[in-house]
Structure 1
């Protein structure tokens, strides 16, 4: 995988949801279905022409926007007088391509034919637009390609002029010449007729040497299935709401697209994506925070291959990166000693006891208020359970704690909650399980079981 190298590029300031694939970030799409590439130089909008007026999702009063499942696939629906127009946007790699492109599929579900304007609006400097076949080439590098010959073209030096040409019905049928501007504010549009109950695709691509065809990209259902498979190792939760924390699969995808940090690497490890955490740690510049992340990864998963294979985490540079004033917690030192012994560095393990001068336990708490990891075990919902959760069944599975792999569920029997739990402990651990937010009196060292708890105390 090479997600670290792709994801570490600068993320633009455009407000929207991130798009990408397993090899990295490919831009953002906002709530109106407008796309902005990683460079942040321009945005691609889609407008709908119906009889004597044009609709823009951004200014329309009736439109919806949603994420399609957990995958970075987004649907924007604009409702016109004749019915809905739906645009679905996702990132993918086409046949023979090396870099991800962004695909938008527009479906006219209305009862009338419409015109679809696919508009390029400059956000920074954009000095040149050129027509090549069914494409608009932007500054000789990126391109916007539609899956059929456009009916009309518009190229203008200023965006306001382009808008007036489109809404005034003055778009050109003839292919325009290349447009260059010293102002570096060029804008353009492809206009395509779209009969009712029909659809089209357009693609934004960013490979100067390739011109991908829209038909070379898989359907978004295949992309969704691929992400589901990709996230199969990840923890799964079914919670009434997010008041007590917890990460969804969509949240984990956002972490995969983010610039790597030690904290995010620990989150990935704790929520089941150990290989992704390992890759980020292995490619990071060594420092104490990354050392702590490496130890957290080891303590939670105990997989020596993360530290011994050819492209694995090199623990020695991480240890050497510590400054004289850097202090590890006692539990972190214990984890490092365990790791060094596991990879055959027994002498180094013996030399590390002097580092254990900090707090007793690590400060990392990757599960928020859902699961608190303590020095002697695990406290589920440690603070309190919101009243909105009373009577609601909930569960969490495959949480990689420092004590082992944890799953638990709460099922209600009238006023009494029943706790079911199972933890696959590491060889050297036996945690105490509590659930102080629901029943402060409950405590057990059993690694699995089911018990009926006392009714929660209410303020009635």
Structure 2
């Protein structure tokens, strides 16, 4: 079918263009913090719905410009938040599309995605909002597209609701100036739109082959904006959804994400790692739906080997224990039958959660489950049932569990678990990371150990990000996803490993120092660690670094030793705060 549509000159999504079909998917998730699914945006600004999508085409002075096939499309994030800006170059300047999530109450549900288009050229243009029978990287299904008046609107203009296969899909602020429809039999709607033959009457689209498409066209004056809204998440399919009376603008949404991102903050001498960290912090707000985390922001398994513990550990490192704690104490309700993958995920999650936050009563609550999980993993290893990937994950999780037990005044249990971790980590073939999140975790371990060249590896990995700071990953049924939130989480862990490393008796500050950083300032603020909440900064006085630090220790701790192995291997202190010239 894809070849047939190509021959018939249908406008295909960015990923389905012939020259890109062999590429890894690359998309960006948008949405809101808290319960509700994230929504996918492709590199050309196509917003993906449930088996359909919403595209945007621009009619300029010279011709119609279709973002998925244009070379002049650029995409980025606004304020490093999940707010996607796609710029399309046309004669005279740019037309800009922005996509972001908001909340506004409906009868059922309150989540929306806003699609805003602004004309920054000095002359008027036209914008077509086009409902397509595609998803980002595949043919979807749209049998019927209907449009009818609905509640709300701008001024005297009556809002209109588009339904796809009877479900609310898009709310328009007013009646389109012109519109057109297409199907497999009649051909793509592109032909009607680009020929200027769209009519002014309301028109529905039908296609028994599931390839219905409709275009809804508006004039757009110089500097003018138009917004259409897509209801997402929980909704009543029979509800006559109206146009919201209040729609937050991009600046307000960006400010909201900045507030949510409060917590550990880093300042680095070069921007790549700092920007990647800031973007990842905000992106992780899309992973948690109130009861669990999902690497695709929607419906990936709550217990997903490797991904789940990575996301939860990053949330704990970002000082969000309330997002993780309920999952830790309610783990039995999430797992149906214990297996090695779920045992490893449990140990890794509970160990980091308790090490960083020392929540009273949690260790006692989970101790029996921890012991049982360690025993099952040990038994599986002795029987040769662990794959190299499971072995690597298990060794890491068991090592963290041993640290948790040692800090919890259980030295004998800690030693036993550490012995199991050592045996599993040294036995069998070495694990070679394949997925991007695995590579970031491996680099993070080398940064933690202060290995030469680890920072350069981190920089190389960060350079592979999309323009919006995303990486692909594994999805359901062997399909790839274009924005893997486990990779975002692993970025947080890796950058943190660059700045602080837990040791049995304290903390190493800046365990790795990049050569290009000499003379540049480094800061980390309010970072939870196994020994308390840490802040420090490095300033330079000529060739010598000055260190300022502040550690707010957990209760009932003995002396905590702080070191700076990459700046002055001979220096250490047990003072909780102070400053010194190294």
Output the TM-score relative to the length of structure 2: 0.66
1:8 aligns with: none
1:235 aligns with: 264
1:79 to 69, 84, 89: 89
2:384 aligns with: none
2:520 aligns with: 392
1:346-361 correspondence runs (5 A): 355-356=416-417, 357-359=419-421
Contact 1:240 1:394 in 2 (8 A): yes
Q: Which moved more, 1:296-305 or 1:190-199?
A: 296-305
Aligned pair in 2 of structure 1 residues 333, 161: CA closer, same or farther (>3 Å)?
Answer: closer
2:254 aligns with: 224
Q: Which moved more, 1:294-303 or 1:401-410?
A: 294-303
2:547 to 412, 416, 419: 419
SS of aligned partner of 2:117: strand
Query: Is residue 2:215 matched to residue 1:205?
Result: no
Contact 1:298 1:335 in 2 (8 A): yes
Query: Is residue 2:193 matched to residue 1:183?
Result: no
1:108 aligns with: 119
Contact 1:246 1:370 in 2 (8 A): no
1:5 aligns with: none
CA displacement 1:41-87 (0-9 Å, x = unmatched) = 22222111023411233333444322111321122222322332222
Instruction: Calculate the aligned-residue CA RMSD, in Å.
Output: 3.1
2:509 aligns with: 380
2:179 aligns with: 153
Q: Quick one: distance in 1 between partners of 2:272 and 2:562?
A: 22
Q: Quick one: distance in 2 between partners of 1:144 and 1:116?
A: 15
2:131 aligns with: 120
Contact 1:245 1:370 in 2 (8 A): no
2:44 aligns with: 32
**Structure with the bigger percentage of helix:** 2
Q: Quick one: distance in 2 between partners of 1:244 and 1:430?
A: 32
- Gapped regions of structure 2 (runs ≥ 5): 1-23, 135-139, 150-159, 288-293, 295-301, 303-307, 336-341, 379-393, 426-440, 449-492
SS of aligned partner of 1:298: helix
Aligned pair in 2 of structure 1 residues 393, 99: CA closer, same or farther (>3 Å)?
Answer: same
Contact 1:18 1:25 in 2 (8 A): no
Query: Quick one: higher RCO (CA 8 Å, sep 6+), 1 or 2?
Result: 2
Residue 263 of structure 1: CA displacement? 2.3
Aligned pair in 2 of structure 1 residues 80, 243: CA closer, same or farther (>3 Å)?
Answer: closer
1:19 to 30, 42, 46: 30
Aligned pair in 2 of structure 1 residues 222, 279: CA closer, same or farther (>3 Å)?
Answer: farther
Output the TM-score relative to the length of structure 1: 0.82
Q: Quick one: distance in 2 between partners of 1:139 and 1:307?
A: 51
Query: Is residue 2:192 matched to residue 1:165?
Result: yes
**Structure with the bigger percentage of strand:** 1
2:404 aligns with: 335
1:401 aligns with: 529
Residue 18 of structure 1: CA displacement? 0.8
